[in-house]
Amino acid sequence: MGPGQAGEETVAVSDELFAHLPNGLDLCHQTFGDPRDEPVLLVMGLGGPMTWWPQDFCARLARRGFHVIRFDNRDTGRSTKLRHHPVTRADLLKAYLGRGTAPYGLDDLADDAAALLDHLGIESAHVVGVSMGGMVAQTLAVDHADRVRSLTSIMSTTGRRRVGWIHPLVMRTMLAPAGRTRPEYAELSVRNGKVVASPAFPTPDDVAYARALETYDRGWIASGVSRHMMAVLTQPDRTERLGAVTVPTQVIHGTKDLLVHRSGGRATADAIRGATLLEIAGMGHDLPAQLYDTFVDAIAATAARAR
């Protein structure tokens, strides 16, 4: 079933397509809306496939006059998995303590996103990133400034260790086993998701369970999550470099975020000249359906400032 709702304009949705990048990786991607409209590139966070940007959300954004692009980062969904770069629990603990190196960094993920735009023939786009995706979006705005028309950074941080920290309880949850079977994975995803979810905007268990099954079926692998974690834990402090970002920027953060403390959002807004900060009371570290219109309104207003 397409994303169009009863009584609403139906939005064109592409098949899941593949971009073969110059670095040898294949990225799975999908578009919503009219290719003649202004492009919006959605960058998902740690371990999340592109389907964590729900079709309903993408369709709402497309109805606002945008050509929406979502994609699976490397090591997620149907994109290339780098299984030949194993990461151990000990590696993660070292990185958490500020030591160790990662198989790849946020700059590599930003390069992937820029290469996807090349593949699609898009010179620049409005870039929206959530969590790790916000870090990637920030990096894209720094390393590929000419590719970013506007920036929306959601529940993310600058890489400075004194801000945007992880609550110790959440770190233990992230390091816990994710389940050995499809049902176990889904059940644990629902349970663990509640640790970081928005207390004021709950997601029904059946919705979270269905999303977990879809995530598993599209190619979830634990080692991919670990490599993403290493990229996040070893990221550089971008604060000074973010001072060079000149595009319109919106920062969004929840007041109840246990995975990336709200100080990360404030630091991001402080680092980028002219950035606006929207703090949402009761929002945790997820994208609740109750807030889709809030996010879409903020993205559209930020894009309008770039025109």
The predicted structure's pLDDT at residue 175: 76
| 11-32 average pLDDT score | 98
| 300-305 average pLDDT score | 98
Calculate the average pLDDT of the chain: 95
pLDDT-based confidence at residue 75 (cuts at 50, 70, 90): very high
| Residue 9 token pair | 């304009």
| 135-153 average pLDDT score | 98
224 pLDDT higher than 60: yes
- The Cα–Cα gap between 86 and 249 comes to 36
The predicted structure's pLDDT at residue 6: 35
Tens of pLDDT, residue by residue over 248-262, are 999 999 999 999 999
Tens of pLDDT, residue by residue over 150-181, are 999 999 999 999 999 998 888 778 778 888 89
Phi then psi dihedrals of residue 194, to 5 deg: -70, -20
44 pLDDT higher than 60: yes
Question: Known catalytic residue: 257?
Answer: yes
The one catalytic residue in 72, 91, 257, 286 is: 257
pLDDT-based confidence at residue 84 (cuts at 50, 70, 90): very high
The one catalytic residue in 131, 156, 189, 226 is: 131
The predicted structure's pLDDT at residue 8: 64
**What is the percent of the chain where pLDDT is above 70?**
97
Question: Known catalytic residue: 285?
Answer: yes
4 pLDDT higher than 70: no
Helix axes 292-304, 55-63, angle to 10 degrees: 40
- The Cα–Cα gap between 40 and 43 comes to 10
Give the number of other Cβ atoms within 10 Å of residue 212's Cβ.
23
Question: Known catalytic residue: 131?
Answer: yes
**What is the percent of the chain where pLDDT is above 90?**
89
The one catalytic residue in 67, 144, 228, 285 is: 285
